[in-house]
Amino acid sequence: MSKFTLTASILKRNAEGQSAFVPYMMAGDGGLDVLHERISFLEEAGADAIEIGIPFSDPVADGEVIQEAGSRALRSGVTLRKVMSELQAQTHSIPLVVMTYLNPVLAYGLSDFVADCEGAGVKGLIIPDLPYEESGLLSDVLVGKDIALVPLISLTSSAERIEKIARTAEGFVYAVTVNGITGVRSGFGSDLMDHLTNLKRLSNVPVLAGFGISTPEQVRDFSPVVDGVIVGSAIVTAFHEGDLEKVKSLIQAGRPAVRQ
């Protein structure tokens, strides 16, 4: 059994011969009062973990759809502290992964943030603007905690850096499938599947593909190659438009997947 609940949840799905699915949602888009309702919906629809985005004024990794969702949340007064307080108010049975940027975490206080993550059932952290070389800033505070600091690996990283990050990854490897920011894509680079296959060979934890995956067809295309997928913009749009059937269809698209 993995030392991280987050990893175990993904491996459990894989052991069933299926691909894991991690939806992304923007906390506070539509109001904080619907946060738990949406988490429960995703849980019941079959998600294996949920990535919860925190609205931020300078979201360098986010595409237009997620930026707009963050702006809506910010206009309604949503902050990292308010989201953490809300998450602590109710428990859920699948791992929650908080995606935020470094400045809000530093303003919160590293120890206080990690303590509140524990109290909220958060099992993973994704911080896109925290370089691997400086990750000790947070990982040192996470020692002994069931909270994985999930690394992102980009397509432009050197082979040496990719191997170093993959070998030491916690939770899962977030394999970025495009050069650039998040958002809906119609297609992907021709050598992407080779890159993902190499990551799986190097990594001691599951490899999940994310950024730009937005249709059931794309979910099905990636599912045999990696251990799971992360879908963001399409989920955010579906929630904003009230299209819950689209959310369900995305989650179910990779199941059953033909695994190699």
Gap between the Cα atoms of 144 and 140, Å rounded:
9
If one counts every other C-beta atom within 10 angstroms of the C-beta of residue 244, the result is 14
Return the CA Rg of the chain: 17
Beta bridge partners of 231: 23
DSSP notation for 143-211: TTSS-EEPPEE-TTS-HHHHHHHHHH--S-EEEE-SSS--S--S---TTHHHHHHHHHHH-SS-EEEES
Residues forming the active site: 51, 62
If one counts every other C-beta atom within 10 angstroms of the C-beta of residue 16, the result is 12
